[in-house]
C-alpha cells in the first residue's frame, strides 16, 4: 500500500452564493456536505488507505464527518497546520501544503471557482472534483462513496507520469495576462463593461462584452451556455472559443437555475490551443469562472486557451484497471 496521503479540500461557502439565493436553485447545506464527506471517508477506508489530510475550516466539516464513523480501521484524518482566514487564500494555502506533503490525489468539494484555485497551485496532482457549488461545469456530481473508493484505489495504481497520463484527463484552462499580472479560469473568462457590480457573481448579461470558454454545452447553466447555443465544445476538444457580445443575433441561455435569458452576440470564433487573443479595454471588470478578479482601466488583455490545466482522475478507466488488477477482490 502506498503511504501517500489523500487530500480533501471542502469549500464551506460553495453552493450558497447570490446566484442560488436569487434564482430557484437549491442550496447545499453544511449538513449535506458532512454527509457527503462521511461517505467519501467510508470509501477511502474500504481501500485500506491510512492517511487523509484536509483543509481546516471554521465548521471543521471533515473532522465532524470522521467523528460520525464508528469503524475507522486505522485511518488517520488530520487538518493541515495552516491559518484559516475564510477566503480563497485558504484553498491556495491548503493546496500548497498538500503538494509539499506529497498527496497522491486531492478530492475537492466545491464549484468551478474552488477548483480554479487548486489549479493555480498545481496541475500535476490528480483530482476528483465533486460538485457542491453553483452553475458548475468543471466538477461533477459524483457519489461520495465512489469518489473515496476511487481516490484510495488510485494510490495503488498511479506510480509515475505514465500512469497519470493514462488515468487522468489533462484539462484545458484559460490563461489571462493583464497589467503584468497572470490569472486563470477553468471554464469561462468574461469581461464586463460595468465596474459597479454589487455582488461577486456575474449575473446581468447586458454588461457582458467578451467571453472566453474552454467548453460549452448546449443547455448548460451559466455563461458557457451562451457559446453552447452556437458552438458546442466538449472537454476533449483541442480548442476553446471566444464570443464578442453585441446585438447582431440573439440566443437563449440558462444563466442561472430558473432563469432563461436572451443574450445578444456579434460573433463566436474557435480558439486553438496556445493561440493568443489580445483585447484593449478602456474600463471594466474581469471575471474568472463566475468570480470577479479585478477592475481595470486603459489596459491590454491577452487571453489564450492552454492545455496545462489540472489532471482529472478518470474514474471509469481507473475502475477498469482496478478490476484487471484484482484490487476489488479482497483476499
Lowest mean pLDDT among 10-14, 72-76, 85-89: 10-14
User: Which of 45-59, 188-202, 309-323 has the lowest average pLDDT?
Assistant: 188-202
Same domain, 119 and 207: no
Question: What is the distance, to the nearest Å, from the Cα of residue 111 to the centroid of all Cα atoms in its chain?
Answer: 5
Residues 65 and 164 in one domain: yes
State which of 69-73, 231-235, 250-254 shows the largest mean pLDDT.
Answer: 231-235
Is pLDDT above 60 for 200? no
- Residue 330 included in any domain: no
Residue 286 sits in the same domain as residue 194: yes
CATH code assigned at 81: 3.40.50
User: What per-residue confidence (pLDDT) applies to 123?
Assistant: 92
Determine what percent of the chain is predicted with pLDDT higher than 90. 72
DSSP 3-state assignment of 226? helix
Span 97-106, pLDDT tens digits: 999 999 999 9
Q: Is residue 1 part of a domain?
A: no
Q: Residue 2's Cα: distance from chain center in Å? A: 26
In a domain, 285, yes or no: yes
Judge if 199 and 156 occupy the same domain: no
In three-state secondary structure terms, 2 is: coil
Does residue 318 share a domain with residue 214?
A: no
Per-residue model confidence (pLDDT) at position 25: 53
Residue 213 has a CB neighbour count (10 Å cut-off) of: 30
Q: 17 and 120 in one domain? A: yes
* Mean model confidence pLDDT for the chain: 90
For residue 212, the domain's CATH number is 2.60.200.30
Shared domain check, 313 and 234: no
- Please tell me whether residues 142 and 265 are part of one structural domain: no
Q: What pLDDT, on the 0 to 100 scale, is given for residue 311?
A: 96
Count of all residues that appear for the chain in the document: 331
**pLDDT at position 20 over 60:** no
Q: Which three cell numbers stand for residue 109?
A: 468539494
In-domain check, residue 14: yes
User: Does residue 83 share a domain with residue 55?
Assistant: yes
Range of the domain at 316: 6-171+309-324
Confidence of residue 197 (pLDDT cuts 50, 70, 90): low
**Residues 172-184: what's their mean pLDDT?**
94
Same domain, residue pair 180 and 166: no
> Do 147 and 219 belong together in one domain?
no
Number of domains in the chain: 2
Residue 133 has pLDDT above 70, yes or no: no
Exposed e or buried b per residue across 37-70, where buried means at least 16 C-beta atoms within 10 angstroms of its C-beta? bbbbbbbbbbbbbbbbbbbbbeeebbbebbeebe
pLDDT (average), residues 100-114? 95
* Same structural domain, 122 and 86: yes
Query: Is the model's pLDDT at 27 over the cut of 80?
Result: no
pLDDT digits 0-9 by tens, 269-318 = 999 999 999 999 888 999 999 888 889 898 999 999 999 999 999 999 99
The predicted model scores a pTM of 0.91
Q: For residue 203, give the 3-state DSSP assignment.
A: coil
Out of 8-17, 18-27, 48-57, 250-259, pick the least confident.
18-27
Position 331 in a domain: no
The whole-number pLDDT of residue 17 equals 53
- 134 pLDDT above the threshold of 90: no
Amino acid at each position: 500500500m502506498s503511504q501517500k496521503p489523500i487530500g480533501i479540500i471542502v469549500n464551506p461557502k460553495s453552493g450558497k452564493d447570490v446566484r442560488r439565493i436569487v434564482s430557484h436553485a437549491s442550496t447545499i447545506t453544511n449538513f449535506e456536505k458532512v454527509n457527503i464527506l462521511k461517505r467519501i471517508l467510508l470509501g477511502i477506508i474500504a481501500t485500506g488507505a491510512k492517511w487523509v489530510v484536509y483543509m481546516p475550516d471554521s465548521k471543521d466539516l471533515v473532522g465532524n464527518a470522521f467523528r460520525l464513523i464508528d469503524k475507522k480501521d486505522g485511518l488517520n484524518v488530520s487538518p493541515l497546520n495552516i491559518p484559516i482566514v475564510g477566503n480563497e487564500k485558504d484553498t491556495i494555502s491548503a493546496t500548497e501544503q498538500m503538494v509539499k506533503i506529497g498527496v497522491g490525489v486531492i478530492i475537492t468539494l466545491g464549484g468551478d471557482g474552488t477548483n480554479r484555485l487548486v489549479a493555480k497551485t498545481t496541475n500535476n496532482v490528480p483530482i476528483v472534483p465533486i460538485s457542491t457549488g453553483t452553475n458548475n461545469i468543471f466538477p461533477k456530481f459524483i457519489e461520495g462513496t465512489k469518489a473515496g473508493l476511487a481516490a484510495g484505489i488510485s494510490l495503488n495504481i498511479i506510480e509515475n507520469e505514465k500512469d497519470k497520463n493514462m488515468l487522468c484527463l489533462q484539462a484545458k484552462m484559460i490563461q489571462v495576462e493583464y497589467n503584468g499580472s497572470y490569472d486563470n479560469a477553468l471554464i469561462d473568462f468574461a469581461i464586463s463593461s460595468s465596474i459597479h457590480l454589487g455582488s461577486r457573481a456575474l449575473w446581468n448579461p447586458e454588461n457582458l462584452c467578451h467571453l472566453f470558454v474552454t467548453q460549452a454545452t448546449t443547455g448548460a447553466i451559466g455563461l458557457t451556455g451562451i457559446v453552447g447555443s452556437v458552438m458546442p465544445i466538449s472537454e476533449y476538444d483541442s480548442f476553446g472559443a471566444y464570443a464578442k457580445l453585441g446585438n447582431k443575433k440573439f440566443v437563449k441561455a440558462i444563466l442561472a437555475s430558473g432563469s432563461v435569458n436572451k443574450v445578444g452576440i456579434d460573433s463566436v470564433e474557435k480558439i486553438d490551443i496556445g493561440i493568443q487573443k489580445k483585447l484593449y479595454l478602456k474600463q471594466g471588470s474581469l471575471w474568472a469562472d463566475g468570480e470577479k478578479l479585478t477592475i481595470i482601466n486603459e489596459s491590454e488583455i491577452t487571453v489564450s486557451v492552454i492545455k496545462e490545466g489540472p489532471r482529472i482522475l478518470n474514474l471509469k478507466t481507473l475502475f477498469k484497471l482496478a478490476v484487471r488488477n484484482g484490487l476489488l477482490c479482497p483476499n
